[in-house]
Amino acid sequence: MSLRSSALAVLVLQLAVVAVNATSAVEILSQVPSCASKCISSTFISFACDPEDVTTCICPSIAIQSELSICVQIKCLFDDQLTAATVEGALCEAYPKVSRRTEVRRTLIISCSLVLVIVTIRLFTSKQYSGGLWRDDYMSMLAAALLIALAAVYLHITSIGFGMHYWTIPVGNGVVIRKMLYVGNLVYTVL
């Protein structure tokens, strides 16, 4: 096989891949709810996106995804928002997702560890030098237990999407995250 024919074969293969990607992008976008279609068209116009290359325009751009997300949240019912998020997830599956979950986990673990060390030192010195534990020591233990519960809630929700952009959270986890945040707020209020 000559160099020319192998280059032609590579070109045909690349064109076939582009055609498959375009078809799948069109098929995926056809599943968008009507309320989100208006958002997509207005965002495409404002960001001068090429309708032929949907994924390259939307997926790497956080600004575009943010504007789409805001528009969909305003114009669509919650079920339609979930459908739009599913479509976006399928469309941008190959692209990396920005996440700050590691920073959230690190902050939780470090701060809880410091608090637990300080409470342990406090209890040890109180028992050693005061002859026992007093009410304030028991309140410190209660506060430490509530802090552990709060950290457990937040560590759990980071594993299901907290720390990611709204539009990249796995579909269906948004409701669970909101409920767990509510529980976390209640624990924090008691704390």
Round to whole Å and give the CA distance between 151 and 191.
Answer: 12
Round to whole Å and give the CA distance between 67 and 166.
Answer: 12
Dihedral pair phi/psi, residue 99, rounded to 5°: -145, 140
What 3-state class would DSSP assign to 28? Answer: helix
Distance of CA 111 to the CA centre of its chain: 22
Alpha helices (runs of H) in the chain, residue ranges in sequence order: 3-29, 34-46, 54-58, 62-75, 78-91, 101-130, 135-159, 173-190
Q: Confirm whether residue 53 is marked as ligand binding.
A: yes
Binding residues for heme: 53
- Residue numbering of the annotated binding site: 53
